[in-house]
Structures are given as C-alpha cells and as structure tokens.
Amino acid sequence: MKIGTVPLGVKLKAWFWTLERFFATPFFGAALFIGVALSGGSMTSLTTWLAFIAGISLMCAGHCHNSFLDYSWTGLDKGEVEDRSAEKSYCGGQNLIEAGVVSSRECAFVGLVWDAIGIGILVWMTIHFHLSVMMIYLAIMSAIIPIAYSAGKFTTWGHELSLGISCGPLPVLIGAFAVNPSPPVINLLLVSIIPAAILSFAGLAIDEFPDALANLKKGVKSLPYKVWQYSTIEIGIIPGGIEGSKSMETLRWYVTGWLLMVFIYHVFLINIGVLAPMTGIAFITLPMLLASQVFLKANFDKAAVWIVALGAAYLILLLAGQIIGG
C-alpha cells in the first residue's frame, strides 16, 4: 500500500520515528528527571511521568518544526545533496522533505500534533493537580523555541542559546514544577547549564561540521559553522569524501574545551552543595569522550555516534548519582 508514491511503511516510519529524532530523548529526559530529583520529587509519581511524556512530546515537536523551517523558511535542507544539510547517522530527518518522503505540510502537521500533546498534558496537569502556572509558560516557550533555533543559525550565538535553553532550563524546570510548587529555581538553573553545554555548545559543533560547506553558502553565521570555516585545510585528506572538508583539529579543541569546562563546573556544583558528590560517577565518561574524538578523522559518523551516546551516558549517570546520593 502506498500514500502517493511512498510506501505506507516508509511514511509511518517518517511520521512516528525519523522526524522526531528520538536519539535526543536521553538528553531531554535526563534533564527533566534531574529537575525532579533536585526538587525532592518521586521518580515514580504520576506527575513525574506525565511531565516526562509532555517534555518528550515537545522535543519531538521541536525536531519536526526544525525540519519544516529549515526546508521551507531558511532553505538549509533544500537543494541538491551538495547544497543542503548532511544526513546524520545518529538521527536522520534532515532530508525527508527534499527526498519526497513527507511534504512540508505533513512535517508541520506532525509537529503541531506533538505540540498539542505536550502542551495539552501540561495544561491539564496544571489545572488538575493545582500546579504552578509556570508549567504553562514553560510549555509555550518550548513550543516557540524552534523558530528562534532556525533563525539563530544566522547569528553568532542564537543557534546554540536556543537549543541550550530547550534542552537545559526548560526540561529541568518542567520536571521541577511538576513535583514542587516552589522548587529551588536558582539551583535548577545552575545545574541546567550542564545538559545545555553538552548537547548544544559542544554537540552542535560536531552536528554542524558536515553541514558547514553547504550551509555557509546560504549565509549561516553561528559559531559551530565557523569551527569548520576557520579550520586549516588538509591537502589530500578529505574525511567522508566530501570536497572541501577540513582538518579536525579545531573541532577537537573546541569540543574538548567545552567538555573540560563542563566537568570542572560539575565539580564546582558538588563543592557548593548543589549536586550530590555521588554524581561524580559521571566522570568515568570523560576519558571515553576525549578518546572518541581521536577517531573523528578515520570515521566521522561512527565517532559522532559514540560521542552522542557517551554524552547521554554522562547525564544519565549524573541523574543516577543525584538520586542515590541526594
């Protein structure tokens, strides 16, 4: 059975899996649960899991809207293969519209459905459980972030800040207000910098490296693209077989710098009593995160998958340490 020229199975996979980029669930989910843990909530309570479902729904919506906006608005995902964003082995979804698997309207509609689920759950929770109205404000902010994210690619810091807010403060605070009407907001915001820095400021540099050659032609200005632009050309070495690829050294230094700052900052939060000492178990991922960067030149896609997985493992271990030792 086909819908138009596309097999039904391919359509369903795109609608319910690829567009949503569920690879990011550990990042957004761990951030939300960290908010619960720091606010004295229970990991088994109904409000915790409803907030988790809502938070992941808003994440899915954001990814769908990003695909729609980068095709229909910014044009970064539009054009021939060499003129659009590269397909990533750990997520996919960048080229579904261009490939004709889904239309731009379908993509936007799927995103709106996820928005309705996420916002609807948080509004219902606020009314039914008499939660803080902040839950509704956080839901609305989560829904409009994709616009800032796409527009931010044409500024220096807007790109990273938008994603950082969406995967740091917003899910952390949603988890917190789901279990506590007056959570420790300052401590929550301090801790939310960690997931924001890992997925956004460090992660985007790796995510956008394969996109930079095509996207710079369309006017992007954000720092992750500049990491590629100002790398030294290595004559005769073309990682991934893409003409114009650059040295990995600038990328490695940039990402390593962010990772080291995160781990130092983590130690600081332990020392001032914001995080439990047991969260230090997350530090076992640092040697592996650094080692993975060695292999970026040999096999960029495989190394990127490992870095994403280890970044998620870091946040999950931090959450586990906080639950055990908090």
Residue 253 belongs to a domain: yes
275: left (phi over 0), alpha (psi -120 to 50) or beta: beta
Residue 273 belongs to a domain: yes
Does residue 272 carry a pLDDT above 80?
A: yes
What per-residue confidence (pLDDT) applies to 237? 44
Q: Model confidence at 238, in pLDDT bands (50, 70, 90)?
A: very low
Contact between 127 and 171 (Cβ < 8 Å): no
Residue 2 belongs to a domain: no
Give the mean model confidence (pLDDT) for residues 295-302: 87
Give the mean model confidence (pLDDT) for residues 8-23: 90
Give the mean model confidence (pLDDT) for residues 239-246: 50
Query: What mean pLDDT, rounded, does the chain reach?
Result: 91
Q: Tell me how many domains the chain contains.
A: 1
CA 238, chain centre distance (Å): 28
- Tell me which residue range forms the domain holding 29: 7-325
Q: Model confidence at 233, in pLDDT bands (50, 70, 90)?
A: low
Give the mean model confidence (pLDDT) for residues 188-200: 97
Residue 78 belongs to a domain: yes
Contact between 55 and 28 (Cβ < 8 Å): yes
Tell me how crowded residue 125 is: count the other CB atoms within 10 A of its CB: 22
Alpha-carbon span 16 to 38, nearest angstrom:
32
- Which tokens belong to 158? 């807007």
Tens-digit pLDDT profile for residues 206-223: 999 888 888 999 999 998
Does residue 161 carry a pLDDT above 80?
A: yes
